[in-house]
Amino acid sequence: MTDVLIFAPAPLLTVTLEGDHPGGDLHVHSGGQGVWQARMLRTLGRTVAIVGSFTGESGRVVQHLLGDEGIEVHPVVRTGRGPAYVHDRRTGQRTVVAELAGDPLSRHDLDELYAAVLREAMAARIVILSGPADEGILPDDVYRRLAADLRAEGVPVVVDLAGARLEAALAGGVTLAKVSDAELREAREIRGDSVDEVVAAGRRLRDAGARSVVITRAGEPLVLIDGEHARLVRVPRMQEVDPNGAGDSLLAAVVSALAEDRSLLEAIALGAAAGALNVTRHGLGTGDPEAIHRLRARVTVEEVGDDDAQVVTPDQLAARAEVDDR
């Protein structure tokens, strides 16, 4: 059985120029949200499979690169233009040279992808529904249908989506939804950055169809909504080299722990550590597994709105829960 299946509608071919010597270095990788999540899951020792579309010449390259990383691929191969980007980081900053959205998925492509997700989900412990880089690749309603059908099969569903895609997935029902406060602000779910406002938005997402909700806050303590509980999760803040991909690493580490039947609080602690360490690196979805597990011990959790609440580690909370269950 595969630990984690990822729906990655349209993985990217990424080309990056780096280095401070004349000419620099050229790096070619597979990329996109689902791929970066898969990479972190592999780093943490999970078995991972991706269902996605692979288009044209760039798609063939991406499929080969994923296999090199030990990621099982269930492809829908098609002709046309695949998504890709070229970035230049030789100055230390990420400069966009070119970004190609790729061709939208046809009805036939969508049917094949949908069937492949349902088929492979039956052999997975948990499924992540990730999004493509471009808004026009596939209809938002695909996420509602997938979430509903996977839930009917009894498969846990985790999403890292925003806007209309998130609304669609919630309508189908999900186990865990992850979103950033910036995405909530863009969707006009929040206006400021107060904890109370973020918690209220998280509870609305819970009521819309998520069993639990994680809201990241760009270096500030993340918010976890789990049932009636609202918690702040704190992790030591690191010096940023590249903040891109931190949320994908966070979600992947959460799913890694859930696939091992860890509690949600234990999973969130591992995710917070992975996300915090990801910003210290250039590679998206990469990390040192030993460093992640060690930093996890420094993560703390506190109840929101309880002035008498103690700041504790997830392990301490889990130990208390075991005592209460006896």
Taking the C-alpha atoms of residue 136 and residue 125, their distance in angstroms, rounded to an integer, is 30
Q: What is the pTM of this model?
A: 0.90
Range of the domain at 40: 1-122
pLDDT, position 244: 64
84 lies in some domain:
yes
Residue 26 lies in a domain: yes
Query: HSE of 172 in the Cβ direction (CA atoms, 13 Å)?
Result: 30
Number of compact structural domains in the chain: 1
Residue 261 DSSP code: T
pLDDT grade for 323, boundaries at 50, 70 and 90: very low
For 12-41, how does the pLDDT look when each residue is reduced to its tens digit (9 = 90+)? 999 999 887 777 889 999 999 999 999 999
Helix 163-172, helix 195-208: angle, nearest 10: 50
Q: What is the CATH number of the domain that holds 70?
A: 3.40.1190.20
State the chain's mean pLDDT as an integer. 89
Q: Six-digit token pair at 88?
A: 């230049």
Question: What is the distance of C-alpha 103 from the center of its chain?
Answer: 23
Residue 252 has pLDDT above 90, yes or no: yes
Give domain status of residue 189, yes or no. Answer: no
Distance CA 2, CA 151 (A): 18
135 falls within a domain: no
Radius of gyration of the chain (CA): 19
Return phi, psi of residue 73, to 5°.
Answer: -120, 130
Residue 31 lies in a domain: yes
- Which has more confidence, 276 or 214? 214
Is residue 321 scored above 50 in pLDDT?
no
Backbone angles phi, psi at 308, to 5 degrees: -95, 0
Q: What is the pLDDT of residues 207-229, one digit of tens each?
A: 999 999 999 998 789 999 999 99
- Pairing outcome for strands 124-129 and 157-160: parallel
Is residue 237 domain-resident?
no
Question: Could you tell me if residue 151 is inside a domain?
Answer: no
Q: What is the pLDDT of residue 300?
A: 93
| Mean pLDDT, rounded, for 65-94 | 92
Within-domain flag for 117: yes
User: In 104-263, which ranges are E strands?
Assistant: 124-129, 157-160, 174-180, 210-217, 220-226, 229-234
Residue 263 has a pLDDT of: 94
Percent of the chain with pLDDT over 70: 89
pLDDT at 79 over 90: yes
